[in-house]
Structure 1
Amino acid sequence: MVSGAGPVLPHPLPGAVGLSHLSAYDWEAADGIRGGSPHLHLVCTEAYVVTGGRGAVQTLSPDGFRDIPLEPGTVAWFTPGTVHRMVQGGGLRVTVLMQNSGLPEAGDAVFTFPPEVLADPEAYAAAASLPPGGGPETETAARRRRDLAVEGYLPLREALLAGDPGPFRDFQRAAARLVRDKVPAWRALWRAGALAAATRTGGRLDALEAGDTAHLDAATAHETRPTRLGGYGMCGRRDEYALPGTTLPYEEKKPGPLPYEE
């Protein structure tokens, strides 16, 4: 048990990572590119493991713009503060590994909406949220959300290409202001998830060093299957797992706007 963490989550995936599968959106955006909604994470590193098809991930960071090709076998990852946009090239299929399972689903992601939307938390929440159900209304809202994110993304990219990081830095600061009030809740999730997993490892090392193997008496195996197929995420249609530490973004029983999907 980690001090102040509440109950430790049972048997998370190794490292308490989050897991999902994505099929990149095929919708064409204003710049002619087919793909997902550009966004960044404030705390978590994200990795793409490409399992099928072709495409790319466009990234914006202080070191500029990159267009990273994606094909089966590619592993690409991006650290906090990196704007990323998944680009569809044909049948792109990606397994996503997300650091700090539970934080992205709790809002550790901010879309590259235009500055006036980012400056208004209520307007941002309305633009970022999707109606429940997964039907035509959800698809329309997901596409509208993607288009608004691309609208804000393109000026950031053009400024970076021109050697001006100012608009990108302004976006990072606006994103941080937008989520600041969420940090206490994120800290609780981190303590119960990723930090608790690391702490358990330390305890096992201490036990082995002392010749104590009692923790091996609890050895067991687990298996799971997706608990939702084809949800509308930030980057594409998303298969999700009800894993310990993950707050599933599609739970319709929760009142108010849905958390922001990945």
Structure 2
Amino acid sequence: MTTPRFPGGTGVSDLRVYDSRGPDGLHGGSPHLHTASSEGYIVLGGTGEVHTVTPEGVAADDLAAGDVLWFSPGTVHRLVNGGGLRIAVVMQNAGLPEAGDAVFTFPRAVMADDDAYARAAHLPAEAPEELRAERARVRRDLAVRGYAELADAVRARGPGPLHEFHRRAAELVRPRVARWREIWREGVEQEVELTRNQLAALAGGEPGVMARAAVVRTEPHPGPRRFGMCGRLRTRRPAAPGQGAAD
């Protein structure tokens, strides 16, 4: 049988939030939003905050070990590291965030130009780690400046500037949506159909997929942690048959 997916077609990663200092003096990640996926945080250790912009305004929520928090698409968010902040991130629609579901909060002048946005967002995958770290820092700092611009506008004028940002984000990701539909059908939609069919089987007194019961362990992807938007990411993959993974 094929390896069962993580429940609900979600994705899980281990995030160590950036601890470098941003242009406003705070330490942390790149402000951004997700255009199609909800995101959840389970705080594993350390302290910090998540700063957000929604139609209700600008806010900050404290984060400490044991806290659980999540937010819907369109929520602009920024992680601030108060010391050793480490989070298990649960992402809806596994595959879409990796395919560009997120949009950075770059300043308006960058957001208005497709090419300028693409250059600012790009992180060279094959470059030496030192160069990628520097590019991630530059990208983060630019997004922080745009976040401050957006947050000030929302404080002064209400949700209008955020709605404008949402429209621009939708324009930026529009060329990717056809591919996203394929990813969603191959992942989340198949999981929904699996449950639909299982309920039908159970209604008929049949065990259905229970006959293919399985346990899946994972192992970290090899190499250093990836440079994510908010910090260094450790993703995992199903362990090879006969192998376990130490958690």
| TM-score, structure 2 as length reference | 0.91
* More deviation, 90-99/181-190: 181-190
Q: Does 1:58 align with 2:51?
A: yes
1:106 is aligned with what amino acid? Answer: A
Deviations 1:166-205 (A, max 9, x none): 3222211111100011111111111111111011011011
Q: Report the counterpart of residue 225 of structure 2 in structure 1.
A: 230
| CA distances 1:203-225 after superposition (whole Å, capped 9, x unpaired) | 01100110112422211111011
**Letter of the 1:189 counterpart:** I
Partner of 2:244: none
- Show the counterpart of 1:108: 101
Q: Secondary structure at the match of 1:225?
A: strand
Structure 2: unaligned runs, 5 residues or longer? 239-247
**Could you tell which deviates more after superposition, 182-191 or 138-147?**
182-191
Counterparts of residues 208-227 of structure 1 (less than 5 Å): 208-227=202-221
Corresponding residue number in structure 1 for 2:87:
94
In the TM superposition, 1:1-262 aligns within 5 A as 10-133=3-126, 135-228=129-222, 229-242=224-237
Which amino acid is 2:204 matched to?
A
Gaps of 5+ in 1: 1-8, 244-262
Secondary structure class of the residue paired with 2:61: strand
Q: What is the DSSP-based 3-state SS (H/G/I as helix, E as strand, rest coil) of the residue aligned with 2:218?
A: coil
**What SS does the corresponding residue of 2:225 show, helix, strand or coil?**
strand
* Structure 2 match to 1:252: none
Q: Deviations over 1:74-112 (max 9, x none)?
A: 111110100000000000000000000000001100000
Show CA shifts across 1:211-246 (max 9, x none). 112422211111011104421100011111246xxx
* Partner AA of 1:87 in structure 2: V
* Distance apart, 1:27 and its partner CA: 1.3
Q: Is the 8 A contact 2:52 2:78 kept in 1?
A: yes
C-alpha distance in 1 between matches for 2:95 and 2:141 = 26
More displaced stretch, 164-173 vs 97-106: 164-173
CA distance in 1 between counterparts of 2:133 and 2:182 reads: 32
Secondary structure of the residue aligned to 2:139 is: helix
Contact 2:17-2:79 within 8 A present in 1 as well = yes
Tell me, yes or no, if the aligned pair for 2:57 and 2:158 is still in contact at 8 Å: no
Q: Provide the rounded CA distance (Å) in 2 between the counterparts of 1:80 and 1:222.
A: 29
Amino acid at match of 2:48: G
Q: Which amino acid aligns with 1:183?
A: V
CA contact (8 A) 2:11 2:94 kept: yes
Count of equivalent residues: 235
AA of the residue aligned to 2:226: G
In terms of mean alpha carbon deviation, does 154-163 or 188-197 score higher?
Answer: 154-163
SS at match of 1:189: helix
Q: What SS is found at the alignment partner of 2:101?
A: coil
Residue by residue over 1:7-63, the C-alpha shift from the partner in whole angstroms, topping out at 9 and shown as x without a partner, is: xx8511000101111111111111111110000001100001000000010000100
Q: For residues 112 and 172 of structure 2, what CA distance do their matches in structure 1 show?
A: 8
Contact 2:121 2:139 in 1 (8 A): yes
